[in-house]
Amino acid sequence: MSSKLSQPVGSFRVIARGKLGDERIQGVLDLSVTRLRDLRLDAWSGLEDVEALRERAHEIRMRVVDDLEGYLDQFQRSVERLGGHVHRAGTPEEAVALIVAICERRGAKLVAKSKSMATEEIGLNGALEAAGIRPVETDLGEYILQLGGEHPVHIVAPAIEKTKEQVAELFSAIEGRAVPAELEALTASARRQLREVFLTADVGVTGCNMAVAETGTVTLVTNEGNGRLVSSLPPCHVVVMGMERVVPTLDDLSVILRLLARSATGQKLSSYTTLITGPRREGETDGPEELHVVIIDNGRTNLLHGRYREMLACIRCGACLNVCPVFRKTGGAAYGPVYSGPMGAVLVPLYVGLGNAPDLPHASTLCGACTEACPVKIPLHELLLDLRRDLVQQGVSPRWERVAFTLWSLAWATPFGYRLSTALARLGQPLGALAGPGKLWAAGRAVPALAARRYRDRPRG
Amino acid sequence: MAEPVTEPAVDPALVARFVANATANGFTVHRGAAPLIEGAGVSVASYGLAESGSVVLAAAPDEPRANSLLPDVHVSLLREELILPGLPELFAALSGRLPSALAIVSGPSKSADIEQLLAVGVHGPKEEHVVLLPAAPPPAAPPQ
Amino acid sequence: MARRVPFVDGVVQLFATCLGDLVFPDAVGDAESLLRDAGFRVEFPERQVCCGQPAFNAGHHAAARRVARTFTKAFSRSAPVILPSGSCTTMVTHYLPALLGVEPYEVWELSAFLDRAGVELPRRNEGRTVAYHDSCHMLRELKVAEQPRRLLEQTGATLVPLPRADLCCGFGGTFSVRQPEISLSMADDKLGGARGAGAEALVTADPGCLMHLDGRVRKVGGVPVVHLATALARGIGGGA
């Protein structure tokens, strides 16, 4: 289990409070998620039958979950047939050890990285640095965060909270001269800084949006082109993928691709959708000589057969983040350094154990907007409801809470108990705001007054 | 370069849809002659996709990846009869034979990572051009 | 004379819900009046208590089961059960049968039932500007969104749309006390939206949303929040 993802109890509320108090961040979050949501809705409406497509996508992903080892096996054989290498890693430690070994075998000093949540999960950058190898993020948002030593706060728009001024400050420090806080200047600066990295990196590391079992294909989806550069120029390409990111055939891939960019950013396809099938071939003048695919487990196998297996269908599009009313207020940091929003609230407790992220299933009003927005029809809010049940059944939820609900349910198990307890509550009303939930309620709202007479006690004509 | 699998006859509606969507994506679409742009990288596209306004570039000995990656300006040469409706048709046309790298390019390099403002030409080409070439003439009939 | 629902012989059972019984009895009275005026005989099973939702949504299934059983002991299957609450309707329809291992009941949220019954409502809101808040349960689980609006318009109200009507009001049951700051910020957004839209009242069909939004208004001021039943029976001046 990755402890990097753990969220100690209470941290969600503390971080959220900080974000709520920052007017600029509130404005940025509202603007960004509203825009991305509108773009998705527009793109979905342009599809002939989006419901049927979502249903097909769900079916494809669940078919994979039903025989994951079979498809991974097929994928591995396909890649190896083309001269690529496939490695399976159970834990983050195993994964980084494998990747560092590949880099060391090539005498690598510089690694160019294209955005990958899987590499965040395993803490790859830290491990490379510890081995004396310099990793550089090439996705613009990730690069900015790396310079500032920060974590991504949205799986598709990682630096959503940064200002132009903050970026200019970071870039000026690198270039050793003042870079103006204007988009064109910042873009040119990033292009300059990172062009060097693409051309001189010894190893390129990317994620993988979807692997195709029948052909051994790895799919990269970017808008910037850094995925293509990272997978084409360095002599060695390492792909890091979560083991569930596979589809059986190219036809299945086309269903997922038709939904992915539309759901993430409202585009029909991202600027660059790249299908990589093996290392460079005979006669080709560029492309990596070596291709390695590192497939990571890190808690995914545990989900294959249980109530939460549908969560493995996730294609990391971010649509759920963009409709979540809670994410809109808090941003991603409150959920943790890698996954956030509804998908993070489900996935992180499943990966690290409920005891290590007990706030997350309750970081939601169960409004259901996420389930409505998910292109592969994961019933996210129902999974959150089930996780809440698990919190109680695993004894993670605090004892006093379980005692309170038990007492309440015993009182309300009969009409007599209900009448007695509510009569007493009415007497004790003024005290309600002094402690516990009543106090938390009363800080911002008038405490609801129990009516002088219950409805049932009124004369009904 | 892949063999054309569509009939030599070109569907003008499909071409029109390609032009509209590619233009909306930020491509400059030319017909007939390729523009003379100094320093531009030039690729021969394997296919075009009408639904998404994309050009499909396959890595090959005579089609290095760098051509479409490093220059500031990139030009794709695309024969009209190679325009397909969308991804399902593309994969059918490839019939499982994929090149080492197949780039489906749907516009110039862009990012909205800084304050959600659209920046163009972050890493890949800042400008993308497509030159639509007329369908290749049918093979000459053998002499009688 | 209102048209009757053909599958019912004119009898309905009213479930006040715990919040209705304890905190919003006037709204429950309004719901009963609306049903009577529509020509139905309204039974009020005395043994009703609560559907168990507060515990269920918090993950406490054993507690939820204990309380939910009171529903099966109070209500019969001989007539539809009507609730002035979208969230309780969702609980009884979607979750209670599996929780208790019983057959489903015929359950209706009030406005869905009145709309289906083809009621004719007096024009108590003539010339009034009103915003309607879709509770998440009604919007996404019950898919009842047009009916409350049709009924409000029947009473003469002019409906103004809320900005980002898809956004939750921030109640979410125990969420309101686990993440109170976020909950309040969401309430303020909702109330600010109603004010910005020029509404004289914000109407909701859910006692949970009502308690949360009305509680906020009583603390910091804002557009009055009114239960749908009250808005339809007596007009938006009738209070929460």
* C146 and C99 within one domain: no
Q: Which domain holds residue A411?
A: 403-444
Window C:160-189, CB contacts with A under 8 Å: 164, 166-168, 170-187
Q: What is the pLDDT of residues B46-92, one digit of tens each?
A: 999 999 999 999 999 999 999 999 999 999 999 999 999 999 999 99
pLDDT at residue A157, as a whole number: 82
User: C159-192: per-residue pLDDT in tens?
Assistant: 999 999 999 999 999 999 999 999 999 999 999 9
Q: Does residue C5 sit within a domain? A: no
Here the CATH number for the domain that contains residue C139 is 1.20.1050.140
Specify whether C130 is located in the same domain as C39. Answer: no
List beta partners, residue A246. Answer: A211
A405 touches chain C (CB under 8 A): yes
Both A131 and A244 in one domain: the answer is: yes
Higher pLDDT: B144 or C100? It is C100
DSSP per residue, A66-90:
HTHHHHHHHHHHHHHHTT-EEEEES
**Residues C144, C106 share a domain:** no
The pLDDT score that the predictor gives to residue B4 is 55
Which residues in chain A are contacts of C57 at CB distance < 8 A? 366, 385, 388
Residues A233 and A88 in one domain: yes
Judgement on whether residues C93 and C43 belong to the same structural domain of the protein: yes
Q: How far apart are CA A360 and CA B11, in angstroms?
A: 53
% of chain A surpassing 90 pLDDT: 82
Asked if A277 lies within 8 A of B99 by C-beta distance, the reply is yes
Q: Which 3 state secondary structure label does DSSP give B77?
A: strand
Residue C8 has pLDDT above 70, yes or no: no
pLDDT at C239 over 80: no
ipTM exceeds 0.90, yes or no: yes
**Do A283 and A432 sit in the same domain of this protein?**
no
Are residues C66 and C141 located together in one domain of the fold? no
Give the end of a domain, one of C67, C89, C115. C115
Q: Is residue C237 classed exposed, middle or buried when 0-12, 13-18 and 19+ CB atoms within 10 A define those classes?
A: middle
Domain match, A289 and A411 both: no
Q: Is residue A429 part of a domain?
A: yes
Helix (H), strand (E) at residue A269: none
Cβ-based contacts of A223 with chain B (< 8 Å): 109-112
Please give the residue of chain A at the shortest CA–CA distance from C138: A367
Classify residue A262: in a domain, yes or no: yes
Q: Residue C56 belongs to what domain range?
A: 11-115
Report d(CA A2, CA A8) in Å as an integer: 14
Subunits in contact with chain B (3 or more CB pairs closer than 8 Å): A
Taken in order of first residue, the domains within chain B and their CATH numbers are: 12-133 (3.40.50.10420)
* Residue A131 belongs to some domain of the structure: yes
C91 and C131, same domain (yes or no): no
Q: Which of residues 209-238 of A touch B (CB under 8 A)?
A: 214-215, 217, 223-226, 228-229, 231-233
Q: Is residue C3 part of a domain?
A: no
Q: Please give the pLDDT value at position A336.
A: 92
Residue of B111, B118, B120 for testing the chain A interface, max A β-carbons within 10 Å: B111
CB C137 within 8 A of CB C89: yes
Predicted pLDDT at C4: 42
Identify the CA nearest to A133 among candidates A114, A105, A152: A105
**φ and ψ of A96, to 5 deg:** -70, -35
Whole-number Å distance between alpha carbons of A90 and B81:
48
Residue whose C-alpha is closest to residue A227's, from C125, C103, B123, B78: B123
Whether residue C101 sits in one domain with residue C167: no
Query: Does the distance separating the beta carbons of B51 and A268 come in below 8 Å?
Result: yes
pLDDT score at C7: 47
> How large is the average pLDDT for residues C125-129?
97
Q: Which of C83, C115, C147 is the C-terminal boundary of a domain?
A: C115
Q: Are residues C101 and C155 in the same domain?
A: no
Instruction: Please check whether residue C105 lies inside any domain of the structure.
Output: yes
In chain A, what is the straight-line distance between the N-terminal and C-terminal CA atoms, in Å?
63
Question: Same structural domain for residues C144 and C94?
Answer: no
Name the A residues in 302-361 with CB < 8 Å from any C CB: 323, 325-326, 328-330, 359, 361
| A273 and A151 fall within a common domain | yes
pTM for the model stands at 0.94
Domains contained in chain C, number: 2
Q: Predicted confidence band at C63 (pLDDT cuts at 50, 70, 90)?
A: very high
Q: Which residues of chain A have pLDDT under 50?
A: 1
Q: Residues near A188 by Cβ (< 8 Å), separated by ≥ 6?
A: none
